[in-house]
Amino acid sequence: MAGPTIDHMVSITVLIAALLLTFGLYNQVLATAFAYQRNHQVVMKAVDLMNTICLSPGNPPDWGHTNSTPLGFGLQDPESAGYTLSPYSIMRLTSSSGGGLVYYPKTGLYYNNVSLGSGGSLLMPVGDCIDYATASRLLGVNGSYGFQLSITPTLNVTVSQVPASYLILKVEVLGPGMPVSGATLNYYMHRVVAGGGSAPSFITQSGVAQTDSAGSALLEFPSIDDSDDPYSFVVYAHLGGLKGVGYYSHDVLRNYPQFIVPFIGNFENGSIIIAHSWDVHNYTQTPVPNVFYNATFLVLTEDFKLRQVEIVNSTGQVNYGQGKPYAITQIPASESGILFISYRWGNRFGTVMVPWGIGTLGVSATFGGDPSGHSFVATELRQVTVNGISYQVKLAVWRLEDMNFGEGVRR
């Protein structure tokens, strides 16, 4: 009797062990399949969103030229085809990587500060910008998927000053992880001088150079003092269809901060507010500068030349304090270019450049949420052109439900 019983017990034990092992293996396969399906959906959504953003201009197609909220979201340039993005639509995005908000009491508005390098400034009225929530809603992913859009120049063009008795600038051109040798450089040096009247004027010097095997070039300006002459420098680099831009400026403000803060007043008509810095920031230096400015709009042509055009109120004076007005100039809203403002107070000179169309100064833009902390983030990468400048667009997409049961994700 004992033999069959033991036989049954052993066989049942072995069977249960085998079943448990098999269920475990099946469970592992199914878990992999579920994870694959879930992640595949996110990848498909990333491709779908990237196509919508890069290959459709939105609705209305010219929403980048207006102050109104679009009915459909897309960044393609309505005047071009393929992977060409509108420099104006990108300007209207509320950047998530900028220098925060700036309040200007004279207009009573907050401005979105897109951090630029030395000598550049881009401050846009928050109320006229498109925020992440609006874009998510227009793209149909509000509450279901999160995304972050990064638009960065393909070529990183940096300019630095080399110590010498006269001005020598070093231009370095880098691709993603490697220097770019043999790149052609078209550069423009705008040297600010006192001029005849109260407002300063500037002298433009242009030239062509080429990067060496290390991806750099030294540009010498023997007529410019490297410390006492104010200037602004813009360089366009191109190599076999790739184009990049870099800039650098040097002010002679003698222990003062910059005097002028330019704000974008209106996307539609291209008005720019030229404000006194002391009205914007809590600067305490006295005496307060009595600033004379000279604003010039330089249109970027298709062959990367800067053509000067006339604008209204191109010269003027801005003062600080109660009731003192700011100056308003207006640039042609349909033309991409750079508003170059030089200013002076006595023997103190400075410059600031405002890009009209992000490509003209190679401005980067990051828009959207924060992908960190999510269990799976799909990324898409595309090459595009903005104002003829080569950019890379990276889109990170994640599923928002992951927040509920993610791996150590905080709500």
Q: Which of residues 254-293 bind another protein (CB under 8 A)?
A: 268-269
Alpha-carbon span 301 to 336, nearest angstrom: 8
Residue selected from 251, 279, 380, 402 as contacting another protein according to rule CB under 8 A: 380
- At a CB cut-off of 8 Å and minimum separation 6, what does 153 contact? 244, 245, 362, 364, 389, 390, 391, 392
Residues 364/98, Cβ–Cβ less than 8 Å: no
3 state SS for 361-398: HCCCEEEECCCCCCCCEEEEEEEEEECCEEEEEEEEEE
* Site for another protein contains 310 (CB under 8 A): yes
Nearest distance, CB of residue 250 and another protein, angstroms: 28
* Site for another protein contains 175 (CB under 8 A): yes
Q: Which is nearer to another protein, 317 or 330 (CB)?
A: 330
Instruction: Give residues 384-403 in contact with another protein (rule: CB under 8 A).
Output: 384-385, 388, 390, 392
Instruction: Give residues 234-253 in contact with another protein (rule: CB under 8 A).
Output: 239-243
Residue selected from 39, 107, 118, 271 as contacting another protein according to rule CB under 8 A: 39
Query: In this chain, which stretch among 18-26, 125-133, 137-145, 357-365 interacts with another protein, using CB under 8 A?
Result: 18-26
Nearest distance, CB of residue 385 and another protein, angstroms: 5
Q: Which is nearer to another protein, 183 or 252 (CB)?
A: 183
Instruction: Give residues 341-360 in contact with another protein (rule: CB under 8 A).
Output: none
* Residue 8 φ/ψ, nearest 5 degrees: -65, -45
Residue selected from 20, 71, 309, 409 as contacting another protein according to rule CB under 8 A: 309
Helix, strand, coil percentages for the chain (3-state, nearest 5): 20, 40, 40
Strands 101-104 and 109-114 come out as: antiparallel
- At a CB cut-off of 8 Å and minimum separation 6, what does 220 contact? 166, 167, 168
Residue selected from 84, 95, 150, 360 as contacting another protein according to rule CB under 8 A: 84
* Site for another protein contains 26 (CB under 8 A): yes
Tell me which residue of 156, 137, 47 sits closest to 396, measured CA to CA. 47
Instruction: Give residues 92-151 in contact with another protein (rule: CB under 8 A).
Output: none
Residue selected from 144, 285, 308, 372 as contacting another protein according to rule CB under 8 A: 308
Nearest distance, CB of residue 350 and another protein, angstroms: 26
Nearest distance, CB of residue 162 and another protein, angstroms: 25
* Site for another protein contains 50 (CB under 8 A): yes
Query: In this chain, which stretch among 11-19, 90-98, 142-150, 402-410 interacts with another protein, using CB under 8 A?
Result: 11-19
Alpha-carbon span 114 to 23, nearest angstrom: 55
Residue selected from 78, 120, 153, 289 as contacting another protein according to rule CB under 8 A: 78
Cα dist. 171→118, 175, 235, 249, 256 in Å? Answer: 15, 13, 8, 13, 28
Tell me which residue of 163, 102, 157, 85 sits closest to 367, measured CA to CA. 85
* Site for another protein contains 210 (CB under 8 A): no
* Site for another protein contains 376 (CB under 8 A): yes
- At a CB cut-off of 8 Å and minimum separation 6, what does 342 contact? 190, 192, 200, 201, 202, 230, 232, 293, 294, 296, 349, 350, 351
Alpha-carbon span 342 to 283, nearest angstrom: 20
State which amino acid sits at residue 13.
T
Q: Tell me the HSE value of 247 on the side-chain side, using a 13 A CA sphere.
A: 24
Residue selected from 10, 71, 203, 218 as contacting another protein according to rule CB under 8 A: 10
Residue selected from 52, 58, 65, 345 as contacting another protein according to rule CB under 8 A: 65
Listing DSSP states for 145-165 in one string gives EEEEEEEEESSEEEEEEEPSS
Nearest distance, CB of residue 268 and another protein, angstroms: 6
Instruction: Tally Cβ neighbours within 10 Å of residue 194.
Output: 13
Strands 84-85 and 377-386 come out as: parallel
Nearest distance, CB of residue 71 and another protein, angstroms: 13
Q: Which is nearer to another protein, 161 or 330 (CB)?
A: 330
Alpha-carbon span 343 to 291, nearest angstrom: 7
Nearest distance, CB of residue 22 and another protein, angstroms: 5
Nearest distance, CB of residue 82 and another protein, angstroms: 5
Nearest distance, CB of residue 382 and another protein, angstroms: 4
Residue selected from 20, 27, 29, 370 as contacting another protein according to rule CB under 8 A: 29
Q: Which is nearer to another protein, 310 or 407 (CB)?
A: 310
